[in-house]
Chain A
Amino acid sequence: MSENPKTIFEKIWDAHVVKHAEGYPDALFIDRHFIHEVTSPQAFDGLRKRGIKVFNTARTTATADHNVPTKDQHLPIKEALSRHQVETLRKNCKEFGVELYDLGHPFQGIVHIIGPELGLTLPGMTIVCGDSHTSTHGAFGNIAFGIGTSEVEQVLATQCVLQYKPKTMKIEINGQLGKGVVSKDIILYIISKISASGATGYFVEYTGSAIRSLSMEARMTICNMSIEMGARGGLIAPDETTYNYIKERKFAPQGKAFDDAKKNWEHLKTDEDAKYDSELIFDAADIAPMITYGTNPGMGMKVTDRIPTVAELKEMSEQTSFKKSLEYMGLEPGSRLLGKTVDYVFIGSCTNARIEDLRLVADIVRGKRKASNVEVWVIPGSKQVETQAKQEGLDKIFEAAGFELRSPGCSACLGMNEDKVPAGKYCISTSNRNFEGRQGPKSRTFLASPLSAAIAAITGKVTDVREFV
C-alpha cells in the first residue's frame, strides 16, 4: 500500500499546480493549448488591449476547422463572416507568432483529431482548448478539458487557468462487446444510463477490460463524449496501446527521448488503494448498437428498443422537456425507431472521423449502394485522414456506394459552414450532439456509431447493424 494513494487524475493535477491558496482556485499550468477560429479572436483582442504577448508560443497550436467549407477548400471562403473569422485567426497567429495549420496545410483538421495524430497530445499532460470536446485527448492519459474564451485569454497570457479540482469518478466496463457494437455504442450507452448531467462536477477515469481492449482511436471516441454527461473531462490510463500509437508521431519525443518519456508515463496509473468520489460498473455484454431519439445525448436507447412513454420517465420534472423534445423530433412516445426513414447520413466530427472510422464504414458498404432517399456526407477529421483514406482506396469504395468524401472540418457536426441538414429532415450522425438545431435550424439528429450510420445509408432507414455483420 502506498503512503498517499492517488488516482491518475490526482497525480497529473497535483504535478501541475503552480499555486494553491486556501479559498482560491488552483493556478494550473497548461502544457498544451489548442486554438481555433471561433473561440480565440476575443482572447487575442484582450492580449492586445493589455499589451502582452503569448506566454509560450511553442505550447500553442492553431488550426481552422469549425467554420470552414468542406468543398473547394483551395478557394477563398465564400461566406463573408466565416472568411473574416478565419482571416482574423491568420492575422492573430502571425502577429503573436503562433503555429497555424491553415486550410490546405497537410496537418490541418479538426483540432481534437490533429493533436493526437501529430503527437502533440501526450500522456501526463494538461491540455486545454476553447472547445468542450477537448476531453478527447484524455484517451492518452492526460487532463484535457474545454474552456471559455476568457480562459483562452488567460492561457495565452500566462500558460495557466484557474480551476477548482473536480471530483473523481471511475467508470469501469468489463467483458466483451457483442458483434456490431463499437466504442461509440459504449459511450452512448453510459450517457443513456447516467443522463446528460450525470457526471457534472466530476473528472472521469474509464477502466476495465472492455476499455483496455480498445484501440487508441476507439478510446478517443469514448473520452470525446465525456462532456455529454456533464463531466469536466475523461481519461484512460496509458498502456502499450497508447505508447505504440504515439511512437514516431511527428512531434512526439523520438528515440531515447521517447524511451525516457515512456518510463515516466508508466507511473501514470491509479494506485490500488486510491479512492474515487464515485464509481460505476457496466458490463459490455449489456451494450447493443445504440441510437438517440431526443434532443440531448442522454436520450438514447438500444436501436431495437422503443422510445419511453411519458409515464415511464424517472422524474416528473422531465415531462415538459421530454414532450417538447419528441415534438421537435416529430416522434411519438412509446414508438420504435427501427425502420424509420432517414434523409441524411453524416459521417464525421471529432467523435468519429478518424481513419479507423472510415475503414469501418468502407468495410461495411463495400460493393453496396446507398438508398436513393438519402444523401451521405463523409467528412474526414483531418487532411492526414483524407490522404490516408485515398491511399487505401476508401474514396473509391465511397464513390461506388454513392457517398461523398469531402475535405476536413467540423462540418455538419455544428452546421457553422454550408453543410446543414434542412429543417424537418432526419440525419443519422456519427457526431456527438443532437441538440435542437445543432445540424441546422430545425434539423433532427439521431446519434449513432459509424457502423449504424453506414448501414442506414444503405437501407435508407434506421437499421440494426447486427443483421449485416
Chain B
Amino acid sequence: MSKDKFIALKSTAVPLSMENIDTDQIIPARFLKATTREGFGNNLFRDWRFDPNNQPLKDFVLNDSKYFGQILVAGKNFGCGSSREHAAWAIYDYGFRAVISSFFADIFKNNALNNGLLPVVVSDQFLKRIFKMIEQNPITEITVDLQNQIVALGGEQEKFEINAYKKECLMNGYDDIDYLLSLRGEIKVFERLQTASLEL
C-alpha cells in the first residue's frame, strides 16, 4: 500500500535515553494477537507506560506532559530483538514519524522504512547533544529534512545517511512491493532457469 509521503518534519521530541531498547518493550508479545495493522499505538511501551492495573507510570517519559511531538529520540541499538513489524506500526500509530538514534537494529530499520517511519542515524556525540538540549528545554524543535538529509536543532545540525532508494520511496510514498511486482516477469524466468539447472 502506498504510504504518506515524508519530505520534512519539524517537531518537538520525546527523549528515551535507554540503550538496547528491544521490540518486546516497544510492543510486548501479548499484544501481537491482532490480525490488522491498526490500534497498536495504545500498547506502545505498554509495560513501561502502565502498571499492572493499567495506571500510567508517571516516571515514564511518554507520561510526562513536558515531552510531546512526532519525533522519538532513543539510545543506541534501538529496535533490537524480535522481527515483529508491530513495533514500527505501534510507534507510527502512536503518532511518531521519525526515530532518532545513533544505531538501529537491522530488521527494525527495514520495518520502519517499509511503514513510512523514518529512522535517523546520528553520531553518538550529536545524540548526546540532542538529549541534553531537549532536557534543558523540552520545547526545542527538531527539524528532520529528508530531502537534504539534515537533522537540526538549536542552531546545531548534522547530516544523516539514508539509502537513495529508500529515500525516494519515502519521499514519494512508494512501497517495495510495487517495485517487486514490476519484476514479476523476470522473477518467473529466474525461477524456471534455477529449477532447470538443479535438474541437470
Contacts and interface: CB of A to CB of B under 8 A. Distances in A.
Interface stretch (B6-14, B25-33, B132-140, B151-159): B25-33
Interface stretch (A157-165, A171-179, A180-188, A276-284): A157-165
B80 A437 contact: no
B181 A438 contact: no
A34 to B, nearest CB: 12
B29 A438 contact: yes
Contacts of A441: 28, 47, 52
A317 B17 CA distance: 10
Nearest to A197: B77
A162 B18 contact: no
Given A85-B35, A162-B180, A433 B190 contact: no
Interface in B167-188: 175-177, 179-181, 183-184, 186-187
B180 A158 contact: yes
Contacts of B105: 197, 200, 230
Interface string B96-139: 00000001011100110011000000001000000000000000
B47 A436 contact: yes
A196 B80 contact: yes
B16 to A, nearest CB: 11
B75 interface: yes
Interface in B19-75: 19-20, 22, 24-25, 28-30, 32-37, 47, 52, 75
Interface residues of A, number: 69
Contacts of A147: 83, 107, 110
A423 interface: yes
B180 A160 contact: yes
A468 interface: no
Contacts, number: 181
B88 A148 contact: yes
Contact of A29 (B111, B163, B191): B191
B33 A196 contact: no
A245 interface: no
Nearest to A441: B47
Given A88-B35, A436-B25, A196 B77 contact: yes
Contacts of A317: 19, 75-76, 124
Nearest to B166: A25
A41 interface: yes
Given A149-B85, A196-B80, A29 B190 contact: yes
B47 A232 contact: no
Nearest to B108: A148
Contacts of A25: 163, 165
Interface in A357-385: none
B83 A197 contact: no
A181 to B, nearest CB: 26
A18 B107 contact: no
B20 A321 contact: yes
A84 B106 CA distance: 30
Nearest to A91: B35
Contacts of A436: 24-25, 47
Given A24-B165, A200-B77, A320-B18, A148 B176 contact: no
A46 B83 contact: no
Interface in A309-336: 317-318, 320-321, 324
B127 to A, nearest CB: 9
A423 B52 contact: yes
Given A200-B105, A232-B106, A416-B29, A158 B187 contact: yes
B1 interface: yes
Contacts of A41: 35-36
A27 interface: yes
Task: From B47, B107, B115, name the one whose CB has the most chain A CB atoms within 10 angstroms.
Answer: B107
Nearest to A59: B191
Contacts of B76: 197, 317
A374 B200 CA distance: 57
A55 interface: yes
B29 to A, nearest CB: 4
B179 to A, nearest CB: 7
CB-based closest 4 A-B pairs: A148-B85, A81-B33, A41-B35, A148-B111
Given A25-B163, A148-B85, 20 more contacts: A18-B187, A29-B187, A39-B83, A84-B33, A147-B83, A147-B107, A151-B114, A162-B179, A164-B163, A196-B20, A200-B105, A201-B106, A296-B20, A296-B80, A317-B19, A318-B19, A320-B75, A415-B30, A437-B24, A437-B47
Interface of A: 18-19, 23-25, 27, 29, 38-39, 41-42, 45-46, 49, 52, 55-56, 66-67, 81-82, 84-85, 88, 130-132, 146-151, 153-154, 157-160, 162, 164, 166, 196-197, 200-201, 227, 230, 232, 261, 264, 296, 298, 317-318, 320-321, 324, 414-416, 423, 433, 435-438, 441-442
